[in-house]
């Protein structure tokens, strides 16, 4: 690890101010950032911990939406249950240590192409709330490790509309146990959304053919034999593009069947 300065503000405003320093970086649960620092793959001048900011914590459920503070841990989301499919997803991220430190804000900001949360945000049609604005999920994810966040912009909360039915199916990469392919399916007021993580070279994406098929017939049978094209899917030592495309079809059917 290279040396860095450290700040631990107690308000979002102070955090934003602290992050205006050149090469400053936000630190949330540290489950991605700390290993990166240990391997000397990043050298921020300053780490601004978000851990002391009370307004980033907590889950509120009112009416049609559930709002989760960006600093809320995976374990807290897992225990919440307001959106069962989301809690189940959070409860299956990493191991207990990761779930008790890692946060939803950190996961979305990082936008790892194999992470679970991005598919839930996109699948549920969430809104990402920052210190400056609100960004709909469809605009937020912009490819591998890339988001709509500006330099120094902080996610403060994520607002999820409550679905009528939803489910997340994760096929684990054998080593990391991140998603080799993960599919989040949600049926809501505005129709069916199918979001896929782990598979594409462009990161999380919506599988529109499946959405269309499910829109008229929300059943696994509606997707019989369907899979997205292998073109543009990730190919690595854990699976070829064709294998991943197949898994997208299989996991989507299973998610629909489980969502009921």
Ligand X SMILES: Cc1cc2nc3c(=O)[nH]c(=O)nc-3n(C[C@H](O)[C@H](O)[C@H](O)COP(=O)(O)OP(=O)(O)OC[C@H]3O[C@@H](n4cnc5c(N)ncnc54)[C@H](O)[C@@H]3O)c2cc1C
The residues that touch another protein, with contacts defined as CB under 8 A, are 1-3, 39-40, 171, 174-176, 180, 237-240, 242-243, 246-247, 250
227 part of the interface to ligand X, by CB under 6 A: no
Contact between 16 and ligand X by CB under 6 A: the answer reads no
| Element at 254 (helix H, strand E) | helix 241-259
- Among candidate residues 248, 212, 213, the one with its CA nearest the CA of residue 233: 248
Instruction: Count the neighbouring beta carbons within 10 Å of the beta carbon of residue 174.
Output: 9
Phi, psi of 32 (to 5 degrees): -105, -45
Six token digits for residue 244: 């991943």
CA atoms within 13 A on the CB side of 134: 8
State residue 184 phi and psi, 5-degree precision.
-110, 120
Q: Which tokens hold the place of 21?
A: 């320093």
Dig out the tokens for 140 from the structure.
């937020």
Q: Which CB, 40 or 151, lies closer to another protein?
A: 40
> Which stretch in 113-121, 159-167, 184-192, 225-233 sits in contact with ligand X by CB under 6 A?
113-121
From 22-30, 57-65, 219-227, 249-257, give the range in contact with ligand X by CB under 6 A. Answer: 22-30
CB of 9 to ligand X, least distance (A): 12
Binds 174: which of another protein, ligand X, none (CB < 5-8 Å by kind): another protein
Q: Which helix (H) or strand (E) holds 183?
A: strand 179-188
| Minimal distance, residue 35 CB to ligand X, in Å | 6
Q: Per rule CB under 6 A, is residue 70 in the interface with ligand X?
A: yes
Tokens 């970086």, located at residue = 25
128 or 185, CB closer to another protein? Answer: 185
- In the complex with another protein, the residue whose CB is nearer, 38 or 133, is 38
Q: Which is closer to ligand X, CB of 97 or CB of 189?
A: 97
Site string for ligand X, 177-206 (x = CB under 6 A): xx----------------------------
- Contacting residues for 85 by C-beta, under 8 A, at least 6 apart: 120, 163, 166, 167, 168, 184, 186, 259
Measured distance CA(139)–CA(190) in Å, rounded: 17
Q: Which residues bind ligand X (CB under 6 A)?
A: 25-33, 50, 70, 93-95, 98, 102-103, 105-107, 109-110, 112, 115-117, 149, 154-155, 177-178
């Amino acid at each position: 690890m290279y040396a860095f300065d450290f700040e631990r503000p107690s308000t979002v405003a102070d955090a934003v101010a602290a992050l205006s320093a050149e090469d400053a970086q936000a630190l949330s649960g540290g489950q991605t950032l700390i290993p990166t620092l240990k391997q000397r793959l990043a050298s921020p001048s300053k780490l601004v911990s978000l851990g002391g900011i009370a307004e980033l914590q907590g889950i509120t459920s009112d009416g049609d939406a559930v709002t989760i503070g960006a600093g809320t841990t995976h374990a807290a989301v897992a225990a919440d249950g307001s959106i069962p499919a989301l809690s189940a997803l959070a409860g299956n991220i990493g191991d207990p240590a990761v779930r008790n430190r890692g946060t939803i804000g950190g996961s979305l900001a990082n936008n790892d192409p194999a992470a679970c949360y991005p598919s839930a945000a996109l699948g549920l049609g969430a809104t990402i709330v920052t210190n400056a604005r609100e960004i709909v999920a469809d605009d937020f994810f912009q490819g591998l490790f890339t988001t709509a966040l500006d330099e120094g912009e902080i996610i403060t909360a994520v607002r999820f509309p409550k679905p009528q039915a939803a489910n997340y199916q994760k096929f684990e990469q054998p080593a990391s146990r991140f998603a080799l392919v993960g599919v989040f399916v949600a049926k809501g007021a505005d129709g069916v959304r199918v979001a896929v993580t782990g598979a594409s070279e462009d990161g999380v994406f919506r599988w529109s053919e499946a959405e269309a098929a499910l829109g008229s017939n929300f059943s696994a049978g509606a997707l019989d034999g369907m899979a997205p094209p292998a073109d543009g899917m990730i190919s690595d030592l854990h699976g070829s593009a064709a294998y991943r495309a197949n898994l997208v079809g299989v996991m989507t059917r299973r998610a629909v069947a489980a969502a009921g």
